[in-house]
Chain A
């Protein structure tokens, strides 16, 4: 298995040259970083090269590295203070260096029974954009619309880049780490106006105190009887 992965890795490395950087992955997986410029010829090569032939694009996932490496699930401290999640936008910054947004392409070769993952960073973190791969794999159409909707990554050359999941007139990109879980607006039907109205969200932050006792006297050797 791993010999096969290594063989595939060396073929891809030889075809794409030094611009492709191999990433650490769980055993059995193969993953590369590609630069945004020149990614279209590289991906076309992955599809068409007789030794690669990744004919199928399984998925495109956007990634926001804003809070990368920062956990919001530290219950050791919150046993005293409680914690609330998802209400306040986080965006406090994590341990990730480099551009904030990336798109991850999952490729499959049906004829050779291989998979590879390709990650491409958007060089501009303020207005993230990437070239569209719709001309290489037609199914990228909806995937890119989804990444655009949820992360705000603009795919240049996309034939019809509109929101796909959120409502008409929605503001913001919900999967960005600085977007609050409960959203910014809430919707209700107003009897007096006779239509659906949007209002700022009214939810109050719920503070949870985990019911876990971590330092229990019963297990403290110093306090133990006898």
Chain B
């Protein structure tokens, strides 16, 4: 009789599915994880630096929610120093928080699909991520580690133009022009256009996953977490809502201008582990512009409007990106 032993597997940090954020030493019995030993990296340099020199580290704590981490950090400094942030900066921050949130959801949705065997959803998600990364690039010059938020506001005002594609040996002038169409206005025009395009993209993700039995087989009724257990384990966000607990910091303890914003929070119905997926995807679906603002009829490729938000009046697309 052959002796059957558990298999110890080193997972990450370079493993493509660990995405560089952690290393796990896993004890496997077939495909079932018996034991996981986590190893997490950490930066401790912030301790010896003045406050505003550490903002850049916050991007690197979690490279899929860069600006949200910055936001928490600069808000803590503002709270300590009693700094009041001008409304325009608050709106810019909330807008980029939401862009980051969508980026984050697209990252997990695509990568999770890939991990579980669905290639296309990854490509689709990263197609939209690319557009949002361009927004990062437009305001901060970098695509990931932005260091855009500062105590008291942001690094600089929103730009009037978007970075554009150039024709090259690999990209025809026609293709570049097609991609640049949405980029021909200001950043806000681009975001406005994105919020119009995005609902159709969500339908594409849902077509690929929601009723796909290959995807449902390893997710539905697996890893069920009861509400009491979710609280014990300190779940937050879609994980907590997936367990059926109504909790969203943007609603319960609104910071910045979230109190003035009109958006819905989807909550899971029960204990199903796919509930985090559903609540997050419906959260994405809430990105579409508010109905009845009369602007939907406009073609996405209409002539770029001047950025009305530049003179203190928030551009309507501020509300659109929930």
Contacts and interface: CB of A to CB of B under 8 A. Distances in A.
Contacts, number: 42
Contacts of A26: 79-80, 82
Given A110-B231, A139-B234, A86 B40 contact: no
B48 interface: yes
A142 B229 CA distance: 16
Nearest to B41: A165
A158 to B, nearest CB: 16
A55 B245 CA distance: 12
B232 A138 contact: yes
B234 A113 contact: no
B231 A55 contact: yes
B38 A164 contact: yes
Contact of A165 (B40, B232, B234, B245): B40
B245 to A, nearest CB: 6
Interface string B34-49: 0000111110110110
Interface string A112-144: 010000000000000000000000011100100
A139 B232 contact: yes
A96 B233 CA distance: 34
A209 B110 CA distance: 48
A114 B186 CA distance: 41
Given A55-B231, A56-B234, A165-B42, A86 B48 contact: yes
B108 interface: no
Interface string B179-199: 000000000000000000000
A150 B245 CA distance: 33
Interface in A51-108: 55-58, 72-73, 85-86
A58 B40 contact: no
A175 B44 contact: yes
A172 interface: no
A174 B44 contact: yes
Contacts of B47: 175, 181
17 contacts: A26-B79, A55-B231, A57-B234, A58-B234, A72-B48, A73-B50, A110-B231, A110-B245, A137-B234, A138-B232, A138-B233, A139-B233, A142-B38, A150-B44, A164-B38, A164-B40, A181-B44
